[in-house]
Amino acid sequence: MRILITGGAGFLGSHLCERLLDEGHEVICLDNFFTGSRDNIINLLPNPRFELIRHDVIDPFKAEVDRIYNLACPASPPHYQYNAIKTIKTSVMGAINVLGLAKRTRARAFQASTSEVYGDPEVHPQSESYWGHVNPIGIRSCYDEGKRVAETLFFDYHRQNNVDVRVVRIFNTYGPRMRPDDGRVVSNFIVQALRGHNLTIYGDGSQTRSFCYVDDLIEGFVRLMETEGVSSPVNIGNPSEFTMLQLAELVVKKVGGNSKITFHPLPSDDPKQRCPDITLAKKLLGWEPKVPLEEGIERTIAYFKKTLGL
């Protein structure tokens, strides 16, 4: 097939490009390089089935494709809060442009949504039937509400224009090709520890997250895209929960050195718990994560050691 990936030079997008090329598809990678990097896809450029286009998903674009994966959007708080208006435009106008293209070409369109649509959840773990508990005017709202509107658009285009859509709700994911300045907790802890700095925990460290290794997530993406008859969003993530303190202690143990753990005030609207119910993914896709946290952290540390020249 001929497949378009918006945000294809990003952390997740580059892994997806690689996976789909390995399967024999033609891949068009579209990225404006706001948070993506040419380094992530440099090894793919010689491949005759790979095409790189520098373009902002906010602006309309044309392509003749069979599948569209819409991954374009900054996903870490420092990056999406840097220009909140740009972030929500990327989610909303990007979705409109992707869906317009899918309608014209009859391509199947895939939306990379997020567990952030659940906000600071009052239900635990979060299943796809939970509507969320989101602050519409907070500092994280540009991302949370942008992704919620994108989901609305996808299902409205499905109902009104018969566009074939898939929506994944991504829970915390980590692995090689995260940026050192990504701002998400796994990369923060690993980079701090490798540089011999103290690890920064916001709050008392009791808040929980579930961490899915990137290879597992990409497997979930591909299975969802190619499964027929899926009519609702699907959670993809690791249901094993860890506190921020447990994660920090694991990173310190794996990296070694003398880094200490320090505590700082909790940012506004930071969720206390985030954990997926993956019953639907197991049932519809036969999917569940395979890589344990300890193994995934070791692989990610090795990547950052090489990237940082340590």
Amino acid at 230: V
pLDDT tens, position by position, 94-112: 999 999 999 999 999 999 9
User: Is 286 a member of any domain?
Assistant: yes
Phi, psi of 158 (to 5 degrees): -65, -45
DSSP state for residue 119 in the 8-state scheme: B
pLDDT tens, position by position, 266-300: 876 677 778 899 999 999 999 999 999 999 999 99
**Distance (Å) of CA 241 to CA 112, 134, 180, 212:** 22, 21, 24, 10
Average pLDDT over residues 170-197: 93
Q: Give the active site residue among 69, 80, 143, 157.
A: 143
Domain span at 167: 2-173+212-238+276-291
User: Is 138 a member of any domain?
Assistant: yes
pLDDT at 273: 79
Average predicted confidence (pLDDT) for the chain: 94
Strands 234-236 and 199-202, how do they pair?
unpaired
**pLDDT bracket for residue 117 (50, 70, 90):** very high
Total count of residues recorded for the chain? 310
pLDDT tens, position by position, 150-168: 999 999 999 999 999 999 9
Does position 75 have pLDDT exceeding 90, yes or no? Answer: no
User: Is 257 a member of any domain?
Assistant: no
Average pLDDT over residues 22-30: 98
User: Is 270 a member of any domain?
Assistant: no
User: Is 301 a member of any domain?
Assistant: no
Indicate the burial class of 168 (C-beta count within 10 angstroms; 0-12, 13-18, 19 or more).
Answer: buried
Average pLDDT over residues 136-149: 93
Q: How many domains does the chain have?
A: 1
User: Is 154 a member of any domain?
Assistant: yes
pLDDT at 48: 97
User: Is 46 a member of any domain?
Assistant: yes
User: Is 143 a member of any domain?
Assistant: yes
CATH of the domain at 41: 3.40.50.720
pLDDT tens, position by position, 201-258: 988 889 888 899 999 999 999 999 999 999 899 999 999 999 999 999 999 999 998 8
Whether 143 sits among the annotated catalytic residues: the reply is yes
Does position 92 have pLDDT exceeding 90, yes or no? Answer: yes
Average pLDDT over residues 169-178: 95
